Structure 1
Amino acid sequence: MPARVYLDYNATAPLRAEARAAMIAAMDVVGNPSSVHAEGRAAKSLIEKARAQVAAALGADGADVVFTSGATEAAALALAGRGLACAGVEHDAVASWCDVSLPCDRDGRVEVRDAAASALQLANSETGVLQELPEGLAVTDATQAFGKIPFAFNWCGAEMALVSAHKLGGPKGIGALVLKQGLDVAAQIRGGGQEMGRRSGTENVIGIAGFGAAAQAAQADLESGRWGEVEKLRNILENALAESASEIIFVGKGARRLPNTCCFIVPGWKGETQVMQMELAGYAISAGSACSSGKVKASRALRAMGFDEREAASAVRVSLGPQTTEAEVLGFAEAWSKAHARHKARAA
């Protein structure tokens, strides 16, 4: 049986070797980070090392990095009770806390009216569309962009940012809220006062260590130009798909996008059907945000961009990573083109 090909990096990236090694080493550190003895201090030092690694990769020196269980918890910590505005293209983790009232165009670019009262994603998980962050923005969701494009929190204009480890090759279940120094948030989890009083509970030392190592490795990939190579593969993929399907719509192609993300629509060919057919062919892709798994419905983000119900229900996302090869991309394009031909024959 041929090896499977993973093309769903925006859902979660494979665990990096550096993160795995850091986590295995952390498993042997027995102390509670809040304890003052040598064992406790050893655990605490791992946390602070990872905090520095994440801050450096984010360009957030001097900012506060608060570790959470993921970007969803970070969003709750940043957004609860604030009544900020956002657009319909935002992830549910953000939109569920906001007044979804900001407009966006067909390419997914959002019009921000009051930066201090708004939340705005840096990159969309489904389309890869990048936003220009206005100065004084209250919160940005940097989850998908972190590690894929150059980004410096200290210069981005936002007061707070949300990030997650597993999108850049770290472990699942760990993320962070980044705050400009001097800002504060009301704790949602209270107790022992860990994480500078913002997030109580004994820290996930193993996950935090993996996050730090993954962030450092992801930054090295970015600086080496690896994501420029990924963008070339994405363009090869889109050219190959366009050759076999003249009716294909590449979502957000008129805007700046993440280098790895290809979201496309063949109107009338349901996204989940395409995902299942590619699954049988040995390729893992997605029909939307992984957090919507199990929900067979049109993409809310695409509907907000002006696509109709039929078009939005026909979208799929292919997201590449540093390990993706040209052979894998061309193999996928060939398998998809054969499935498309069968779809056209049935529809005739």
Structure 2
Amino acid sequence: MKLPIYLDYNATTPVDKRVLEKILPYFTEHFGNAASRSHLYGWTAQDAVENARQQIADLIGAEAKEIVFTSGATEANNLAIKGLYELFSTSKNHIITVETEHKAILDVCKHLEKLGCETTYLKPDSAGLISLEQIENAIRPETFLISVMYANNEIGTIQPIREIGALAHKNDILFHTDATQVLGKVAIDVDADNIDLLSLSGHKLYAPKGIGALYIRKKSKASQLIAQIDGGRHERGYRSGTLNVTGIVGLGEACEIAKNELLAENQRLSILRDKLEQGILQNIADVQVNGNIENRLPNLTNISFGGVDGENLLMSFRDIAVSSGSACTSATVEPSYVLKAIGLDDNLAYATIRFSLGKFTTEEEIDFTIKYVKEVVESLR
């Protein structure tokens, strides 16, 4: 068993060896530009891109032409929200979202507020859930978008996405979801879930970093969103720039693997997650699990440890790689805004650890982690 044990899969994942094997030829042998339409090198690259586009679409129940490649979910979120605001700004200027969204949503909304956009930030309950009643009460005549993360990246809570989407459509409002953390962990059907726009990223799915996509429903006003990067009108005019063929091939292959292995892998991960969680709860006093226990990501548990200094706790975990929250905010000294939003005080929020498991996590590693966490916590107390 190699130390430190990696239990931070919600931050990023290693590239699956099968994905790596698939993309290697596109660095050297099939290195063509997918926009080069006059020779075999370009055609080969373009064929690979279109195959990957179909693989991604198949995983979420979309059509291949509804997939637009980006550099990641952050760019996809920016394209979706800024692109729609630019489309609607002369007639509508109101967005509904949630306090516990990823910064890639919250910061975009803050930016648009400087341009005249208005945002309602819904406060979740203690499990991280929002209600349809909250959304309904927040809807205005000028609301053009509801954006709700499919599952929270810190506590794993899964929102009632299908019902939210139906409510949005009932009120002629577009619905966007950041599905970065659920891709490959939860079965997604964009039609059944009433989703107009969906953001995803490769590096959470055992594909390379620097590649992602935005699903844009073609039979909705979402298809009219305004591009945010100009220069060449790539991706049917939605996103200009030379395509990252190697990353795209990797993302497509990762989606294909996830589609075939999702059910079995999720069952395995939920068993390991529950073993880790119960092992900690049964062996360490004054701990609590945060989030919605009934409906959450199968690979994640978010646990608070009372009676310890939060900074010392995280720094003491030398033999396991874990985090106190989102990788995008881990450099800050502030307690997690997600945990604060669901009611934790500063001290407990600081002393909270996110354990996120992945396809290379073993039962031996979980057994070690339970004993190791107990030793560290007791020594700090």
Q: TM-score, normalised by structure 1?
A: 0.93
2:201 maps to 1:190: no
Paired residue for 1:246, among 279, 285, 306? Answer: 285
Match of 2:113 in 1: none
* CA shift for structure 1 position 243: 1.4
- Pick the aligned partner of 1:149 from 166, 170, 186: 186
CA-CA distance at 1:246 after TM superposition: 2.6
Change (3 A) 1:287 1:100: farther
Residue 114 of structure 2 corresponds to none
Q: 1:255 offset after TM fit, Å?
A: 4.0
The aligned residue for residue 302 of structure 1 is: 339
Number of the residue aligned with 2:97: 86
Structure 1 unmatched runs, 5+: none
Written as runs of structure 1 = structure 2, the 5 A alignment for 1:34-183 is 34-36=35-37, 37-61=39-63, 64-80=66-82, 82=85, 83-98=94-109, 99-111=119-131, 112-113=135-136, 114=139, 117-133=145-161, 134=164, 135=166, 136=169, 138-182=175-219, 183=223
Partner residue of 1:277 out of 316, 337, 340: 316
Q: In 2, distance between residues paired with 1:306 and 1:2?
A: 37
Bigger mean CA offset, 44-53 vs 54-63: 54-63
Number of the residue aligned with 1:29: 30
In 1, Cα distance between the equivalents of 2:320 and 2:56? Answer: 32
1:308 shift after superposition: 1.7
State the shift of 1:103 in Å: 2.0
Greater Cα offset, 9-18 or 253-262 = 253-262
Shift of 1:14: 1.4
Aligned length: 341
Matching residue of 1:264: 303
- For residue 214 of structure 1, what is the aligned residue in structure 2? 254
Residues 194 and 270 (structure 1), Cα distance of their counterparts in 2 relative to 1, 3 Å cut: farther
Q: SS at the partner of 1:35?
A: coil
- The percent identity for this pair of structures is 35
Greater mean deviation of Cα atoms: 151-160 or 86-95? 151-160
Contact 2:52/2:249 (CA < 8 Å) preserved in 1? yes
**SS of residue in 1 equivalent to 2:157:** coil
CA distance in 2 between counterparts of 1:62 and 1:211 reads: 14
Q: 1:231 aligns with which of 265, 270, 287?
A: 270
CA–CA distance in 1 between the matches of 2:311 and 2:365? 21
In the alignment, the residues of structure 1 paired with residue 144 and residue 183 of structure 2 have an alpha-carbon distance, to the nearest angstrom, of 22
**TM-score, with normalisation over the residues of structure 2?**
0.86
CA RMSD after TM alignment: 1.7
Aligned residues of 1:130 and 1:255 also touching (Cα < 8 A):
no
